[in-house]
Amino acid sequence: MSSAANTIIELAAQAGVSLEMRGNVALIQLCRPQKRNALSDSLIEALRNVFQNLPAETKAAVVHGQGDHFCAGLDLSELKERDAAEGVFHSRSWHVALDAVEAGPVPVIAALHGAVVGGGLELASACHIRVADASTFYALPEGTRGIFVGGGGAVRVPKLVGAARMTDMMLTGRVYNAVDGERVGFAQYLVEEGQALNKALELAERIATNARMTNFALTHVLPRIAEQPADHGLMTEALMASIAQSAPEAKARVRAFLEGKAAKVQKAD
Ligand code: 1HE
* Rounded CA separation 28/240 (Å): 30
* Rounded CA separation 198/237 (Å): 33
**Which CATH code for domain 3-207?**
3.90.226.10
Closest CA to 250 of 212, 204, 203, 205: 212
Residue of minimum CA distance from atom 34 in ligand 1: 35
For residue 193, indicate whether it is catalytic: no
* Rounded CA separation 132/64 (Å): 10
Closest CA to 58 of 3, 97, 20, 17: 20
> Choosing from 20, 45, 142, 192, which is the catalytic residue?
142
Taking residues 124-151, what's their average pLDDT? 96
Residue 269: band (very low, low, confident or very high) from pLDDT cuts 50, 70, 90: confident
DSSP state of 60: E
What does the pLDDT look like over 170-200, one tens digit per residue? 999 999 999 999 999 999 999 999 999 999 9
Residue count of the chain, please give it.
Answer: 269
* Rounded CA separation 14/43 (Å): 9
Neighbours of 164 (CB within 10 A): 9
Residue 82 has pLDDT above 90, yes or no: no
DSSP strand pairing (137-139 vs 115-117): parallel
Among 36, 41, 76, which residue has the most ligand 1 atoms within 8 Å of its CB, making it the best to mutate? 36
Q: Which atom, in ligand 1's list, is nearest to the CA of 90?
A: 46
* Rounded CA separation 5/52 (Å): 9
Contact yes or no for 161/139 (Cβ under 8 A):
no
What does the pLDDT look like over 203-241, one tens digit per residue? 999 999 999 999 999 999 999 999 999 999 999 999 999
Residue 80 has pLDDT above 80, yes or no: no
Q: Which atom, in ligand 1's list, is nearest to the CA of 142?
A: 52
Residue 9 has pLDDT above 90, yes or no: no
What does the pLDDT look like over 25-74, one tens digit per residue? 999 999 999 999 999 999 999 999 999 999 999 999 999 999 999 999 99
pLDDT for the residue numbered 194: 98
Report the separation in Å between the CA atom of 99 and the middle of ligand 1, taken as the mean of its atom positions: 24
Where do the DSSP E strands lie in 96-165? 108-112, 115-117, 129-133, 137-139
Report the separation in Å between the CA atom of 141 and the middle of ligand 1, taken as the mean of its atom positions: 10
Contact yes or no for 152/126 (Cβ under 8 A):
yes
For residue 142, indicate whether it is catalytic: yes
pLDDT for the residue numbered 207: 98
Contact yes or no for 64/22 (Cβ under 8 A):
no
Q: Is the pTM of this model over 0.85?
A: yes
Taking residues 153-157, what's their average pLDDT? 98
Report the separation in Å between the CA atom of 118 and the middle of ligand 1, taken as the mean of its atom positions: 10
Report the separation in Å between the CA atom of 215 and the middle of ligand 1, taken as the mean of its atom positions: 35
Note the maximum CA span of the chain.
Answer: 66
Query: What does pLDDT average to over the chain?
Result: 95
Write out residues with Cβ below 6 Å of ligand 1: 35-36, 38, 68-69, 72-77, 94, 115, 117-119, 141-142, 145, 149-151
Taking residues 141-167, what's their average pLDDT? 96
Domain segments of the chain: what residues?
3-207, 212-258
> Choosing from 10, 78, 122, 237, which is the catalytic residue?
122
% helix, strand, coil for the chain, step of 5: 50, 15, 30
**27 Cβ contact list (under 8 Å, min separation 6):** 19, 20, 21, 61, 62, 64, 201
Report the separation in Å between the CA atom of 73 and the middle of ligand 1, taken as the mean of its atom positions: 7
Contact yes or no for 11/47 (Cβ under 8 A):
no
Domain 212-258 has CATH 3.50.50.60: no
Handedness of CA 76, 77, 80, 85 (dihedral sign): negative
Residue 4 has pLDDT above 80, yes or no: no
